[in-house]
Structure 1
Amino acid sequence: MGNREDLLEGAKRCLYEKGYARTTARDVATAAGVSLAAIGYHYGTKEALMNTALLQALEEWGEDLGRTMAVEADPAATPAQRLESVWAQVLQSFAAHRPLWSVQFEVLGRLDPEMQETFAAANRGARLALAELFGDFAGGTPTETEALALGTFYQAILGGVATQWLVDPDSALTGAQFVSAVRSLAPLST
């Protein structure tokens, strides 16, 4: 790896270990084993590096969750059983990636206009990825507009449950509870 990649890996380690606000440029340079000046040379600012590291960590989480779900998927399962299984995998990912979830909430409270723009741009892709990740549970292939709406719904549920899980993991919405809640909304579709 070169200095640029080392900085990115060092920044991700610092995000997980220290959080966003408590990480200094010196922390990242030390974790990466490079000079402090390398941050400016490769990323311009520590914030740009940290934002890039956070977005990459989120992408890696999504890819990891997608791989796990692909292995766990039972093609003979009903849509409700698949949804319950998917949600169980999401809850397990909270535990496996707790620092990432903590950092996300820390960052949301500190969004500057540039960071907000970066996250907003990533939202569309994240929402489409969530719609694909959770799969088609209603039958048929959704249009892009429908997939964005589904992804937005899943993102809202995911963020809300992640918040609850960080505070009290034992009270987080289980897969069975999630399916039950979705079923209780079914009469709204008529």
Structure 2
Amino acid sequence: MGNREDLMAGARRCLEAKGYAATTARDVASAAGTSLAAIGYHFGTTRQLLDQVLFDAMEEWGAELERLLAAGAGADATGAERFEAIWARVIESFTRLRPLWAVQFELIGAMDRSPELREAFAAANRRARLGLAAIFHRIDPAADEAKALALGAFYQAMLGGLAAQSLVDPAGVPTAAELTDALRTAAGELAALG
């Protein structure tokens, strides 16, 4: 690996171990086995390096989620069985990716002080919503972008809420079966409202 790759790997280890705000340039250089000057040469600033590592990690998680969901529940699965199989995989991923989720929640609080970070997250947020709609409903976002954004926002709210619960109370996160049952109940009440 070259210095750039070493810095990316070292920054990722630091983010996972210390979080975004507590990671310093010295931490990253030490973890990467490079000089402090290498950060400036390759990335400009430590924050730009950390942002790049975080966005790359989020893209990796998105690609992993897509692979997990592509496995599905089988061609003959009902909608409820597919929903439950998908959410079982998502919930399992929270345990493996706990450090990434912790950093994302840390950054939500920092966005008011960083317009660049807010802009980057807003752009990623829109892409995530369209991607989630395509993954969960196999719809083409280009066919009905407004509907895809709304569906994606629903799934994004579920993902974020479950991720927060997994950080606060890992043992208390609902199971995929409990989510399926709760959705049935909510849908039934909505149907009754007409």
- How far, CA to CA, are the matches of 1:29 and 1:130 in structure 2? 36
> Which residue identity lines up with residue 172 of structure 2 in the other structure?
S
Query: Which residue is 1:86 aligned to?
Result: 86
C-alpha spacing 1:102/1:177, structure 2 compared with 1 (3 Å): same
Secondary structure in structure 2 of the residue aligned to 1:110 = helix
Task: Kindly indicate whether the alpha-carbon contact (under 8 Å) linking 2:73 and 2:81 is maintained by their aligned counterparts in 1.
Answer: no
Does residue 183 (structure 1) correspond to residue 184 (structure 2)? The answer is: yes
Secondary structure in structure 2 of the residue aligned to 1:23 = coil
1:27-46 equivalences under 5 Å are 27-46=27-46
Q: Higher relative contact order at CA 8 Å, sep ≥6: structure 1 or structure 2?
A: 1
**Deviation by residue 1:59-106 (Cα, 9 ceiling, x = unmatched):** 111111221222354111111101101001011000011111111111
Per the TM alignment, residue 135 of structure 1 is displaced from its structure 2 partner at its CA by 3.0
- How far, CA to CA, are the matches of 1:42 and 1:29 in structure 2? 12
Identity across matched positions, percent: 57
- How far, CA to CA, are the matches of 2:130 and 2:25 in structure 1? 34
Per the TM alignment, residue 163 of structure 1 is displaced from its structure 2 partner at its CA by 0.8
Per the TM alignment, residue 133 of structure 1 is displaced from its structure 2 partner at its CA by 2.4
Match of 2:131 among 129, 142, 154: 129
TM-score, length basis structure 2: 0.88
Secondary structure in structure 2 of the residue aligned to 1:104 = helix
Does residue 119 (structure 1) correspond to residue 125 (structure 2)? The answer is: no
Per the TM alignment, residue 6 of structure 1 is displaced from its structure 2 partner at its CA by 2.1
- How far, CA to CA, are the matches of 1:97 and 1:4 in structure 2? 24
Does residue 169 (structure 1) correspond to residue 170 (structure 2)? The answer is: yes
- How far, CA to CA, are the matches of 1:4 and 1:134 in structure 2? 36
Query: Which residue is 1:150 aligned to?
Result: 151
TM-score, length basis structure 1: 0.90
Secondary structure in structure 1 of the residue aligned to 2:88 = helix
Further displaced range: 154-163 or 70-79: 70-79
Further displaced range: 3-12 or 19-28: 3-12
Secondary structure in structure 2 of the residue aligned to 1:75 = coil
C-alpha spacing 1:22/1:109, structure 2 compared with 1 (3 Å): same
Q: Structure 1 unaligned runs (5+)?
A: none
- How far, CA to CA, are the matches of 2:86 and 2:151 in structure 1? 15
Secondary structure in structure 1 of the residue aligned to 2:179 = helix
**Deviation by residue 1:85-128 (Cα, 9 ceiling, x = unmatched):** 10010110000111111111111111211111111111111111
- How far, CA to CA, are the matches of 1:51 and 1:58 in structure 2? 11
Does residue 160 (structure 1) correspond to residue 151 (structure 2)? The answer is: no
Task: Kindly indicate whether the alpha-carbon contact (under 8 Å) linking 2:72 and 2:82 is maintained by their aligned counterparts in 1.
Answer: no
Task: Kindly indicate whether the alpha-carbon contact (under 8 Å) linking 2:84 and 2:176 is maintained by their aligned counterparts in 1.
Answer: yes
- How far, CA to CA, are the matches of 2:170 and 2:138 in structure 1? 27
- How far, CA to CA, are the matches of 2:73 and 2:9 in structure 1? 31
CA RMSD of aligned residues (A): 1.9
Secondary structure in structure 1 of the residue aligned to 2:40 = helix
